[in-house]
Amino acid sequence: MTAYRAVFVKGKQKEFLTRAKELSGLSWERFSSDIGVSSYNVLRTTYLNERNTLPIIVLDKVAHFLKDTTWSTIL
């Protein structure tokens, strides 16, 4: 199976993840675990620093925390 990825405009992937984490009310470690990323260190170095694009499966899990938020206000 091909791993599809979400491509954000520069800076928006970090903004998206940070906003979802804020809304979740979880610690960074718990948030990472809940979205299927092995640790906060991996989340920070690969996705928050926008070194890699976000896998769609992770995007779907992050979007769960944003379900009551208008996406246009985030992105």
Predicted confidence (pLDDT) per residue in 54-68, tens digit: 999 999 999 988 876
Tokens representing 61 are 């899990």
Instruction: Determine the residue type at 32.
Output: S
pTM for this entry: 0.85
User: Which runs of consecutive H residues, i.e. helices, occur in 1-75?
Assistant: 12-24, 28-34, 40-42, 56-65, 71-74
Position with higher pLDDT, 67 vs 21:
21
